[in-house]
Amino acid sequence: MILLLTLISAALASQGSAAAVSGKASSFAGSTSTFQFPPADVTATASLIDSYFPDPTEVGFSGPTPTGDEAESVATAPAPAPVQGYFPLVRPDTSDNKGEDFDVVRSWANLSPMQSVKSFGLDNATEQVPEGCKLNQVFLLHRHGARYPTSGSAPAVFATDLHSAAGNGTLVATGPLEFLNTWTYKLGAELLTPFGREQLFNLGVGFRVKYGDLLKNFTGLPVWRTTSEARMVDSALHFAAGFFGVQSYQSSYHQLIEIEEEGFNSTLVPWDVCPNANNAIWELGDDATAAWNNVYLVDAQKRFAQYLPGFNLTIEDVAGMQALCPYETVALGYSAFCDLFTEDEWKGFAYGIDLKFWYGDGPGNPAVSAQGIGWVQELVSRLTKTRITTFDTTLNGTIVGNEDLFPLDQPIYVDASHDTVISAVLPAMNFTFLAAGGPLPLDHIPDNQTYKIQDISPFASRFVGQVLSCPASDTPTHIRWILNDAVLPQTGIQGCSDDPNGLCELDTFVAGMKQRIEEVDFVFDCYANYTVTLGNDTITNGQYPQ
């Protein structure tokens, strides 16, 4: 059996801190429809016929079963294949069909399926191990797969408003919005969608092909981590099934599940023990998006209002309609909301999410590096094989102090987490390239924008650290980082040079991370009572100005 360890972790205090076309109101315009499989009566009787369906070990006759050697395509292939496409989702179009090469899906920011980033400035570097080097160890911090919207978010609010208008007999949708007369809201909340499960299974398969050879260096079973939310556990298990295979994953590793709930320490959900991640400081991101919505969605609001007489269509409603496009697509395969919007409006949608992350969950927010620094401390502990003894950030002493739960000798580490954790870890580590374009303006999309959430935290995003020996040996000498298949420059890290392959000497990198740990004031940034003005043009490192 797979070991599912749900740990009650110590809190910070104990650790140190629509109507029919005829015009009559329809009862199901915007109404919610749900379905659960298997049906309850089938579940109740399934055990009665289980004996007819024995598992493979009981059936036998499996045929030849010799195994082959492990793959390591990052070292043997000319260049690892990029992630492209999003089968079986239907590619949407724009209302103006402005550019045949424009892919709406790439304008969904954190709601986009992960597709390989072309470059972060190191145009000739790939995930392939540099010539003359040897791969010694790998780290993976990945996001969960595509999911339903968060509870109470804009898509659900729009559906509620629409359903209310239909019930009052005031809704008659016409023109391009006529489908709303019979449209129902089929989305759940926060759970992984079938496509999301596919993403994580494929991520596991791909990671085995790229890095499977490192399994030869394990002396015991791997311990990999996730959190207790349903989509997180689902993502971690689908990754493992892809990596190890569906018949063997349950006995091939240990799955550590950290509690995701307010008051419990976990570096994979750091906001639960950082008050400034749950108040007006964090809401700066929402405020920035709201301000931008009132810039780029004005024309869309006017355009759609004529087709919804009797319905008070607000900017917030239009934002909810636009968000329904990615959410319905990744859940249902297709959405009629997608081609209601123009190419420029889809670019505006992506920028609105970029703003939300920059000011709420990224380098423009003063409490973000503090949220990411705990994972950096764990990284240093793993790289140096040194047990952590001081717990004054988001670290959980119950976990990282235990050699069984937090081993320090693994060739492969896998942590499953959220988009906002990846976006917090990057400034905590000081990957300044991503913030090089400076703070994002609230009234236009800048030409020099370097911070794009589509490249940073899409669904199934992956942040990979390669520990290498250059020249090849059994002693690690260098490290480099790959974000969604593109190598990151490490020039923002103290002592790391501008290397064409993104390499930094391991000792130098560790020293740079220790410096960042000292620089980030977790207690102040997370707990102090300070004020930050939206549009502040000084914060680019996720810390309150010193």
Q: Give pLDDT tens digits for 189-222.
A: 999 999 999 999 999 999 999 999 999 999 999 9
Residue 306 located in a structural domain: yes
| Residue 113 DSSP label | B
Residue 498 located in a structural domain: yes
| The residue to which tokens 């349950």 are assigned | 250
CB-count burial class (<10 Å; 0-12, 13-18, 19+) for 315 = middle
Residue 47 located in a structural domain: no
Q: Which residues contact 137 (CB under 8 A, 6 or more apart)?
A: 214, 410, 411, 412, 413, 466, 467, 476
Mean pLDDT of the chain, nearest integer: 91
pLDDT (tens digit per residue) in 57-109: 889 898 998 889 999 999 998 878 899 999 999 999 898 876 678 999 999 99
Residue 56 located in a structural domain: no
Exposure string for 232-266, b = 16+ CB within 10 A, e = fewer? bbbbbbbbbbbbbeeeebeebbbbbbbbbeeebbb
Residue 461 located in a structural domain: yes
Distance from C-alpha of 89 to C-alpha of 517, rounded to nearest angstrom: 42
**Total domain count for the chain?**
1
Distance from C-alpha of 10 to C-alpha of 399, rounded to nearest angstrom: 9
Domain range enclosing 208: 1-35+67-546
Using alpha carbons only, give the angle 222, 225, 229 rounded to the nearest 5 degrees.
Answer: 145
Asked whether residue 448 carries a pLDDT value surpassing 90, the answer given is yes
Tell me which residue of 486, 428, 481 sits closest to 452, measured CA to CA: 486
pLDDT tier for residue 50 given thresholds of 50, 70 and 90: confident
* Predicted structure pTM score: 0.92
Residue 46 located in a structural domain: no
Asked whether residue 509 carries a pLDDT value surpassing 60, the answer given is yes
Residue 43 located in a structural domain: no
Tokens of 360: 């709420």
Cβ 12 vs Cβ 262: under 8 Å? no
Q: Which residues contact 329 (CB under 8 A, 6 or more apart)?
A: 89, 90, 92, 105, 335, 338
Residue 247 located in a structural domain: yes
The CATH number of whichever domain residue 232 belongs to comes to: 3.40.50.1240
CB-count burial class (<10 Å; 0-12, 13-18, 19+) for 36 = exposed
pLDDT in the model for residue 21? 36
